[in-house]
Structure 1
Amino acid sequence: MATVIGVDLGTSAVKVLLVAQSGETLATASADYPLAQPQPGYSEQNPEDWIRGVKTALQKLHQQPDVDFSQVAGLSFSGQMHGLVLLSAAMRPLRPAILWNDTRTTAEVEQIKQKMGDDFIAITRNRALEGFTLPKLLWVQKHEPENFAAAKVFLLPKDYVRYRMTGQLGLDYSDAAGTVMLDESTRQWSTTILQTFGIPASMCPPLVEATACVGTLIADFAAAVGLPQTVKVFAGGADNACGAVGAGVLNADQLMVSIGTSGVVSTFEPDPTTTYHGQLHYFDHVVPGQHYSMGVTLAAGHSLNWFKHTFAADEDFTSLVASAATSKPGANGLLFTPYLVGERTPYADAKIRGSFIGIDSRQTRADFVRAVLEGITFSFRDLLGLYQASGRQFASAITIGGGAQSPLWLQIQADILNLKIVSLATNQGPGLGAAMIAAVGLGWFADFKACAANFVQVAATYEPDPTAVRNYDQYYQLYHQVYGATASLTAGLLAAEE
C-alpha cells in the first residue's frame, strides 16, 4: 500500500504523519526541540535542532508496528512561517534562526514604512510587521553586518530542513509571500524592495510551487531514518496554508480557525485582485496559482499554556478546560485579552499586553479559565469582523489545533462567532496538509479538492445557541474597548521596566 509522509515543522516540535493513499493516517510521531529567548522580545532556534528533531521523529515513526517505509512514495512539509535562516558560502547557518514570534524589529518595521509607505503594500499586499522575514534581514544588516556580508542565501525553517534532506535549494510561494519581499503582481522577488534596502538578489532562493518535486533524499539522510533514497520530496508550504488544505478549506464560503501557539483565522481567496490594504495578510497558497488571506492573534494557545503553567501546573489541559463548564458565558463578569506577547491583527502593536478586566471576589478559578477561552475566541471575532466589513460571508468555520479538542470550547466558538463550527475526524491540520501536497504532487489526485474528499472527514458540528449569541454580543462590545483603554498603560509598564 503506497503511502506519503507529512512533516510538520512547528515552533516547539516536529510532527510526522504516515498517510495511506486512501487518506487514512496510519501512524504519527514527534520530537521536541528547545526555544531560546536570550533577551526580551527575542525568539530563536538552532537550525541543527530541527534536523535532529526530524531525524528522531522519522526514526520513531519507522519503529512503530506495521509501519513499512519501503512503501513511502513521497514526502512534503509544513513549516513555521517567516523565520530567518542565514547560510554561509559553505551552506551552514551563520547564526541562530530568528523566528516568527520575535519582536526585536520594531525599528526596522518603521524604516520600511518611512522608505516605502503605501508602495510596499501595493507590491506585497501586506504591511510590514515585526514577525515577517524582511525586517529580520534588515535587523541583521544593521546589528550584525559581518553576518549579513557573509550570507550567501536565506531560507525559511522548513526549506533549510528540505535542503539538508535533498541538497536542493528553493522556497515555495506561500512562504515567499510571508517574507514580504515577493511582488504579488509578477510572482517574483521584488527588485524594488531589494534595491531599496540593499539586499542582493543573489541572497534570495529560487521560487517553486508547493507541489513541485525538488528531488529525492540524499543517501546519508535516507540511511539515517530508514527511508528509501527514491522517495520523492515536494517543496511543501507555510503552516497556515497547509493547515487550510488539511482542513479542507478550499472554498470562499469556508473559514478556518486554527488554535496553536498563535491563533489564525483564514479563508480561500478566489479573486486574485482582492486587497485588504494590509489589514489582513494576503499570501500565495500551496494550491498552485491561488491565494489565501488570514488574520493572526499572537498568543492564542500560548495564553492557555501560560495560564496552565502558572496557575495549574499539575493539572492536564483536558480537565482544566473542562472546568470552565461550571462558569457561564461572560465568566461571571470577567474579561481576558490575549495580548501576552503583543498583537498582530487588527492592532499590529508589539507593546500591548494582556489584561484581566472585572476581577472581583465572587469569581472562581473556573471563571478565569473560561475568561481565557472566551478572550482568545473574542480575538478571533475581531478577525472575523474585518472579513465581514469587506463583505465576506461564511457558511461555517472549520476548527483545527488545540481549540478543536474540547467540545466546550467548540461551542464557545460557535456562540461567539455566530457560525456553525466543524471539527474533523483527524485533527492533524498542517501535517495532513503536507501529506496532501505529496499526494497531489505524486499525481494520486487531480487537485486538492479531490484529495480532500478522501483525506478530510468531518467528526462533529456545533450550531450557535441564540441565547448565548446575544449574551456574547454584549460582552464582545466591552472586550473590543479594552485595547484602547489599556494600550498606553501597558506601553508605560514596558517602558518602566527598561
Structure 2
Amino acid sequence: MLLLGIDIGTSSVKVCVVDADSQKMIVSAQYPEEESPIISLQPGWAEQDPEMWWEQAQQALSICQASGKYNPFDIAAIGIAYQMHGLVMVDKNQELLRNSIIWCDSRAVEIGNKAFDAIGHEKSLLHLLNSPGNFTAAKLAWVKENEPEIYAQVDKIMLPGDYIAMKLTGEITTSESALSEGIFFDFKTNGISEDVLNYFGFDSNIIPPVKPVFSAHGYLLASLAEKLGLKQGIPVAYKAGDQPNNALSLNVLNPGEVAATAGTSGVIYGVSDQLAYDPESRVNTFAHVNYAHDLQRLGVLLCINGTGSLYRWVKTLFGSSVSYLQMNTEASQAPLGSDGLRILPFGNGAERMLNNKLIGTHLHHIDLNLHTRGHIFRAVQEGIACAFRYGLDIMRENGMNPTVIRAGKSNLFLSNLFAESFVNVTGVPVELYKNDGSVGAALGAGIGAGIFTSPAEAFSNMHPIEVIEPNTKQLEPVYHEWKALLNRQLQVEQQILI
C-alpha cells in the first residue's frame, strides 16, 4: 500500500510516494528546480499565485509517475503540508479572488497590533496564546480594509494547503490546528474566536467546516483522477502547516520533544502540554497536529524568516554558476568566526522574535583586503546559527529547554559547517534524519486514513542517520559580539520610529 505526500513550499513543491509497510520513500520529485518567485509589489509585501502551487504540484507528481517505480493505483491516501499563515480567498464558485498574501508579508503588522490593544493583551494571550500579530486574520483584515470589492466576494478563506486539497477534491475544510495558526482559534472555548471575528467584523460563514487534522478532508475527483493517473476517491486524509508537519515527520509529538528546520525560513518547534505563551509573542504557540481537547499538545514555534532565503540571495548575488555544495566547501575553508565578518540575517519580512520589526540584513566589519566570498558564505551560516541561538534563548525563557533537537538532513542542515555551528552555538545535540516534509505528509495521510493505528506505528522504523554533539565553545564570543550588533541595530530602528 502506498501513500502520496505533497509539500507546498515557498521555493518549490515536493511530492513523494512512500511505502506504508516499510515507511520508506520510493520516489520523490521537486518542481521547479530553481526557487519560485515571490511577488513584492511594495517593500515588505510578499505574495504568490496559488495556481502556481497547483501547477507545480501536478508537475512534481507527473515526474514521480514517470519514474515507473510504483503502481499509481496502489496509492491509498494523500497528505498535504504547506507554508503556514498564508491567506487564500475564493468566491462561491471556488475561483481565486487575488494572489495569496504569504507568511513573510509584513503589511498587516499594525492591524494586528491594534487588534491586540483592542481585544486586550491579557485576554488575547490567555485565549489566543498569541497577539493577532501579522498572521492570517490580520492579513484578511488588511484585504477587508484596503480591497473591499474583493472582500465582498469572499465565500471561504483558506491556508495554502487547503487550496490544494480543494483542487483535488472540490471540498474546502480546515482544522483546529490550522485555525490556531491563523489566530482564529480560542483555546479556552476550543472554538472559533468570537473576539477576533467581532473585532475585525468577519462573518463566521467564511470559515470552512472544521475537521480533525488526521481525517478525510475530501476525496479525489473522478475527472482529476484520470488526468493525474490515480484512482478516483482516494482521501486527502491529512493537512498541516509545514512546521507542525516537519515535527510530525521527525516523530516530535510529545511534551519536551523538539524539531528544527532551516529551509526558506528557520524554525525551532517544541511540543508542550501547557497553554503557555510568550508575553511579547516573540515565539508563538499553536495547536499541534495531535492536539485534542482532552489531550493538549501545543507547538511552540520560533521562526526566523531570513535563513535559506538569505543563503539563496547570496548565491544569486555571486552568480548562478556557484552551487550550494561549492558555497559550503568555500565556507568551510574560511576560519571560525569568519575573520570578524558578522551578518544579521533579517531581510525577509517582519521578524516575530524581534517584536515584528523590519530591520533588514546587515553585514558588519567587511575588510576589503581580507574577506573573500568564502568568508561571506561562512558568516551567513554562522549568523543564521546565532539567530537560532537568540531565538532558542527566548524559548528557554518560556520553559522550553531541549536536551536534543531533531532535524531532517536537508536544506542548510546539508552543510556540515552549518550543522556544527548550530550545535556548538546552541549547546544542544542534533539528531539528523533522512526525512522531509513530503514524507511526513504521506505518513500523516496513512494515520488519517487508518492505515496506521497510531503515529507511533507510522514512525516505528525511523532512526537517526547522524548525531552531532557540541564539541567546542569557540563560537560563544562570536555569538555575544553578534548579539551586541543586533541590539545596537534594534536601538537604531527604535530611534528611527521615535
TM range (shorter): over 0.9
Distance 1:493 1:319, change over 3 A: farther
Q: Does 1:298 align with 2:301?
A: no
Kindly provide the amino acid, as one letter, of the partner of residue 84 in structure 1: L
Q: What is the CA-CA distance between 1:199 and the residue it aligns to? A: 0.5
Q: Which residue of 2 aligns with 1:435?
A: 442
Q: Does 1:37 align with 2:32?
A: no
Q: Does 1:19 align with 2:18?
A: yes
Percent identity (aligned): 25
- Mapped to 2, the partners of 1:194 and 1:339 lie a distance apart of 32
Q: Which residue of 2 aligns with 1:449?
A: 456
Could you state the TM-score of these two structures normalised by the residue count of structure 2?
0.93
- Mapped to 1, the partners of 2:152 and 2:449 lie a distance apart of 39
Q: What is the CA-CA distance between 1:293 and the residue it aligns to? A: 0.8
Q: Does 1:236 align with 2:215?
A: no
Q: Does 1:121 align with 2:125?
A: yes
Q: Which residue of 1 aligns with 2:6?
A: 7
For each residue in 1:375-424, what CA deviation from the matched residue of structure 2 results, as whole angstroms up to 9, or x when unmatched? 00111101211222233322211223412212222111111111111111
- Contact kept, 8 Å, 1:141 with 1:148, in 2: the verdict is yes
Aligned positions of 1:74-473 closer than 5 A = 74-118=77-121, 119-130=123-134, 132-269=135-272, 271-277=273-279, 278-289=281-292, 290-360=297-367, 361-400=369-408, 401-426=410-435, 428=436, 430-454=437-461, 456-466=462-472, 469=473, 471-473=474-476
Range with greater deviation from structure 2 (296-305 or 120-129) = 120-129
Distance 1:25 1:314, change over 3 A: same
- Mapped to 2, the partners of 1:459 and 1:229 lie a distance apart of 37
- Mapped to 1, the partners of 2:346 and 2:97 lie a distance apart of 32
Aligned positions of 1:64-75 closer than 5 A = 64-75=67-78
Q: What is the CA-CA distance between 1:34 and the residue it aligns to? A: 4.1
Q: Does 1:51 align with 2:84?
A: no
Could you state the TM-score of these two structures normalised by the residue count of structure 1?
0.93
- Mapped to 1, the partners of 2:142 and 2:398 lie a distance apart of 34
- Mapped to 2, the partners of 1:62 and 1:12 lie a distance apart of 22
For each residue in 1:304-339, what CA deviation from the matched residue of structure 2 results, as whole angstroms up to 9, or x when unmatched? 111111124311001111211222221111211101
Q: What is the CA-CA distance between 1:50 and the residue it aligns to? A: 2.0
For each residue in 1:272-295, what CA deviation from the matched residue of structure 2 results, as whole angstroms up to 9, or x when unmatched? 333333231101111242221111
- Mapped to 2, the partners of 1:308 and 1:493 lie a distance apart of 31
Q: What is the CA-CA distance between 1:204 and the residue it aligns to? A: 1.0
Distance 1:491 1:225, change over 3 A: farther
Q: How many residues get paired?
A: 486
- Mapped to 2, the partners of 1:222 and 1:492 lie a distance apart of 58
Kindly provide the amino acid, as one letter, of the partner of residue 31 in structure 2: A
Q: What is the CA-CA distance between 1:66 and the residue it aligns to? A: 2.1
- Mapped to 2, the partners of 1:41 and 1:102 lie a distance apart of 6
- Contact kept, 8 Å, 2:306 with 2:347, in 1: the verdict is yes
SS in 1 for 2:28: strand
- Mapped to 1, the partners of 2:9 and 2:15 lie a distance apart of 11
Range with greater deviation from structure 2 (258-267 or 228-237) = 228-237
- Contact kept, 8 Å, 1:4 with 1:74, in 2: the verdict is yes
- Mapped to 2, the partners of 1:221 and 1:121 lie a distance apart of 43
- Mapped to 1, the partners of 2:370 and 2:476 lie a distance apart of 23
SS in 2 for 1:308: helix
- Mapped to 2, the partners of 1:231 and 1:99 lie a distance apart of 29
Kindly provide the amino acid, as one letter, of the partner of residue 422 in structure 1: E
